Amino acid sequence: MKMTLTSLAVGLLLAGPAVYAQGPRNEPVQPIPAAEVSDAAMAELGKKLFFDPRLSRSGFISCNSCHNLSMGGTDNLKTSIGHNWQQGPINSPTVLNSSLNLAQFWDGRAADLKEQAGGPIANPGEMAFTHELAIGVLQSIPGYVSEFEAVFGQSELDIDMVTDAIAAFEETLVTPDSPFDQWLKGDDNALSAQALAGYQLFKQSGCVACHNGPNLGGTSFQKMGVVEPYQSDSDAIGRAAVTGKDADRFTFKVPTLRNVELTYPYFHDGEAATLEEAVDIMGRLQLGRVYSNQEVSQIVAFLKSLTGEQPRFELPILPPSTNQTPAPEPFG
């Protein structure tokens, strides 16, 4: 449909208070950009692999098990459940907007989504498979072989192709157009007075020193417990596990605050059950500030305004196994 300048002007007038007359605001946080899909076929293949439990030894655990796209890209557990009901060592971070992070995992041991995608498959405490066995399963399924050939131009599969495809799908999992993003773009009516007060307090307190940029985090590693030590029963030591430096103990990747209303419980050990508890702890341990109940409520109202449009797509129909497909080992 062709739209003239006149019809566009009429449309803007009819749009009423949602029109962004003021224009983008100059803030330390920027709106989440919409996903740009460069290879739709690869992303579609990656979506199937993301949901396919046959990439695990049990045939029961998929990427979506710990990064449930119906639950903010997490599992809402303190620590995730791995093969044979093993308790995971750390809270599962959201996969939503993860392409905006400087690195993956809490300790940043994976440089990008591609590297991250291969880790859980071969981790004995997670999917408990090997890359070779996973490829063997996929290679035995004609539907996958033909789809990989269409995307990559070859019928011989390897783990790089698998992780490339999963990463391509995960890059589409962005959540634009939250109420806060609408406010950033100039819509004065997008935020409640309480949420706006919470954002101003968030800035004035210094939270934006770590939680900034489009993802409100994910761009730096910071020590957990700056003003007061953080007490935890978790064995996770943070960035030190990667660098080997004692100075990096309890230094973790700053988590995104996008969709944080959906990604409870909080922190690397999942010890903060609610947003209110998380705000109180962060204020005291990181900033040396004790927030009043009213201030906590204001910041929580702001945090809830960061919930964007969740990814919406048709669930994939996975190609069936064949007589040659290795059987899963759910109890082995």
Burial label for 120, CB within 10 Å (0-12, 13-18, 19+), is: buried
pLDDT per position as a tens digit, 309-318: 999 999 999 9
CA–CA separation, 97 vs 172, rounded Å? 8
- Band (pLDDT 50/70/90 cuts) for residue 23 is confident
**Among 15-29, 194-208, 229-243, 294-308, whose mean pLDDT is lowest?**
15-29
* pLDDT at residue number 332: 77
Identify the three-state secondary structure at position 104.
strand
As a whole number, the mean pLDDT across the chain is 93
Question: Is the distance from CB of 156 to CB of 33 less than 8 angstroms?
Answer: no
121 neighbors 132 (Cβ within 8 angstroms): no
Dist CA 161 CA 168 (whole Å): 11
Q: Per-residue confidence at 21, pLDDT binned at 50, 70, 90?
A: very low
The model's pLDDT over 123-146, given as tens digits with 9 standing for 90+, comes to 999 999 999 999 999 999 999 999
* Residue 13 scores a pLDDT above 60: no
Q: Is pLDDT larger for residue 45 or for residue 8?
A: 45
The whole-number pLDDT of residue 22 equals: 64
| Cβ contact 295:194 at 8 Å | no
148 and 157 in contact (C-beta within 8 Å)? Answer: yes
DSSP H stretches of helix in 95-158: 113-122, 131-139, 142-152
Give this prediction's pTM.
Answer: 0.92
Amino acid at 314: E
* CA 275 from centre of chain: 17
Q: Which residue has the higher pLDDT, 7 or 19?
A: 19
User: Which tens digit of pLDDT belongs to each residue from 232-269?
Assistant: 999 999 999 999 999 999 999 999 999 999 999 999 99
Q: What is the pLDDT of residue 84?
A: 96
| 44 in catalytic set | no
In the prediction, which pLDDT does 239 show? 97
Of the residues 27, 44, 115, 126, only one is catalytic, namely 126
In this predicted structure, the answer to whether residue 12 has a pLDDT above a threshold of 70 is no
Q: Which helix (H) or strand (E) holds 65?
A: helix 63-66
Supply the DSSP string of 319-330, one letter for each residue.
Answer: PPP-TTSPPP-T
The residue ranges of DSSP E strands in the chain, in sequence order, are 221-223, 251-253
* Among the listed residues 238, 228, 245, the one whose alpha carbon sits nearest the alpha carbon of residue 281: 228
- Written as six digits, the tokens of 100 are 């905006």
Radius of gyration of the chain, Cα coordinates, nearest whole angstrom = 22
- The rounded percent of the chain whose pLDDT value lies above 90 is 92
310 touches 175 (CB < 8 A): yes
Q: Of all helices (H) and strands (E), which one includes residue 50? A: helix 40-51
Model confidence over 161-211: pLDDT tens digits?
A: 999 999 999 999 999 999 999 999 999 999 999 999 999 999 999 999 999
Q: How far apart are CA 116 and CA 111, in angstroms?
A: 8
Q: Is the predicted pLDDT of residue 11 greater than 90, yes or no?
A: no
What is the per-residue pLDDT for 9? Answer: 36
17 has pLDDT over 50:
no
Q: What is the pLDDT of residue 8?
A: 33
Residue 6: the pLDDT is 34
Eight-state DSSP code of residue 279: H
